Structure 1
Amino acid sequence: MSVDHLLQTIPPLVVYLLTGLVIGLESLGIPLPGEIVLVSAALLSSRPEIDVHPLWVGVAATTGAIIGDSIGYAIGRRYGMPLFGWLGRRFPKHFGPGHVAVAERLFGRWGMGAVFFGRFIALLRIFAGPLAGALKMPYPKFLVANVLGGICWAGGTTAGVYYLGIVAETWLKRFSWVGLVVAVLGGLGVALWTRKRTRRMVREAEGTEPAAP
């Protein structure tokens, strides 16, 4: 059985539910690859032979992001900052003191903006809801930033990947694959730079690396 045939056997509803569930759990504070799942689902929707619609992928991702963040907010507001101490002892790679310090610094500087833009940053995506609740951000403000961020991130990512998939398929049929490789390498370069910068901020917050000027 070919890969294309195998993909065609996946019910669209399973794709939508899995996308919403994984993104919702990640938004709640569980470190899961929500962005990878969203990109994969959006790529599936760009294949005409697969009955997955990009609109419903975006709706599922947006719904999961908003609900997950709201549940994370409620948990953070209930248990406060000691929650992150408990998580840090059990998951130091994701909730260590440096991670919490960086996220708290960004929240203190940007407020609602940290919730909105946190949707686009891996570090803040799992912190935004619980940390906003722990810091007692008013829920109406959090909800506005949460909804807008979820719509822009989920909808924008779905649309961008969907159209990129269509263009890539056209390039592969009519032109050289070199352009696609360059585009993919460029995207990977930006992702790696962002990850490296985030890790450096965490090390600086932990005091294991001198602060950048």
Structure 2
Amino acid sequence: MDVTAYVQAVGYLGIFATVFVETGLLVGFFLPGDSLLIAVGLLAAANKLQLSVALLALFLGSVLGNNLGYFLGRKIGPALLTKAKVKAEDLERTRRFMARFGPLSILIGPYVPVFRAVVPFTCGTVKMPWLRFFVLSLLGSLLWTQGLTLVAYYVGSRIPHLERYVYLILLAGVGFAVLLAAWRAYRSGNLRWPSRRPE
């Protein structure tokens, strides 16, 4: 999918709906979350979108999606997670993530695709007080949607026509993340380079 073409095709309502589905429903794992925000920022820098309207659409989509996920998790959490066929390892990773970071996981979670979709459900399932969740999800949505989009807008306003190279930017980001994960695994002892046999 060409993310920039997708954003231009669906418009403001479409980017709102995309973020809403990704954060509110467990079917949103494969939607273009971070790449959507980057594309929106770059297109706004190229004067192909109105920045303020796009930021509002992204923010509202994230806040409303998070709260939908929370209330669904609170009402029918375990059964819904099972019926949605969420991978057991994804759920376990989310639980470990939340156990490690506590309430901060709601602020960090939006930056991680799987956690972005599962954390609100998990918060609802474990009956986290709604007001605490709402405040943290409000701040998390603000940091994610506005922060990432504005960074892309700033870079795009300094480098003309950067919106044409969204995939190269994302590929570089993925490559960096893979290298970082491999380095961390190597440092922690979970990865070992094959040893050379003596001649």
- Indicate the TM-score class for this superposition, using the shorter chain for normalisation: 0.7 to 0.9
User: Could you tell me which amino acid in structure 1 is paired with residue 75 of structure 2?
Assistant: R
Distance 1:183 1:123 in 2: 21
TM-score normalised by L of structure 1: 0.71
Contact 1:23 1:35 in 2 (8 A): no
Distance 2:21 2:169 in 1: 30
Task: Give SS of 1:126's match.
Answer: helix
The answer on 1:64 being equivalent to 2:61 is yes
| Shift in Å, 1:55 | 2.0
TM-score normalised by L of structure 2: 0.76
User: Could you tell me which amino acid in structure 2 is paired with residue 86 of structure 1?
Assistant: K
Q: Following superposition of structure 1 onto structure 2, how do residues 79-90 of structure 1 map, counting pairs within 5 Å?
A: 79-88=76-85
Contact 1:46 1:165 in 2 (8 A): yes
Taking a change above 3 Å as real, the CA distance of residues 151 and 193 of structure 1, as seen in their structure-2 partners, is: farther
User: Could you tell me which amino acid in structure 2 is paired with residue 40 of structure 1?
Assistant: A
Distance 1:69 1:45 in 2: 25
User: Could you tell me which amino acid in structure 1 is paired with residue 39 of structure 2?
Assistant: S
Q: Following superposition of structure 1 onto structure 2, how do residues 52-131 of structure 1 map, counting pairs within 5 Å?
A: 52-88=49-85, 95-131=86-122
Task: Give SS of 2:160's match.
Answer: helix
Taking a change above 3 Å as real, the CA distance of residues 38 and 167 of structure 1, as seen in their structure-2 partners, is: same
Partner of 1:190: 176
Identity across matched positions, percent? 24
Match of 1:28 among 1, 5, 24: 24
Distance 2:159 2:174 in 1: 16
Deviations 1:151-187 (A, max 9, x none): 011001111111111222189xxxxxxxxxx977643
**With CA pairs under 8 Å and 6+ residues apart, which has the higher RCO, 1 or 2?**
2
Partner of 2:39: 40
Taking a change above 3 Å as real, the CA distance of residues 20 and 183 of structure 1, as seen in their structure-2 partners, is: closer
Distance 1:55 1:85 in 2: 39
Match of 1:155 among 123, 134, 146: 146
Distance 2:171 2:17 in 1: 29
Contact 1:19 1:34 in 2 (8 A): no
Distance 2:147 2:117 in 1: 19
Structure 2 residues without counterparts, runs of 5 or longer: 163-167, 192-199
User: Could you tell me which amino acid in structure 1 is paired with residue 173 of structure 2?
Assistant: G
Contact 1:72 1:130 in 2 (8 A): yes
Alpha-carbon RMSD: 3.0
Partner of 2:197: none
Contact 1:15 1:41 in 2 (8 A): no
Distance 1:86 1:142 in 2: 24
Distance 1:131 1:187 in 2: 28
| Shift in Å, 1:111 | 2.3
Distance 1:149 1:126 in 2: 13
Number of positions where the alignment pairs a residue of Structure 1 with one of Structure 2: 175
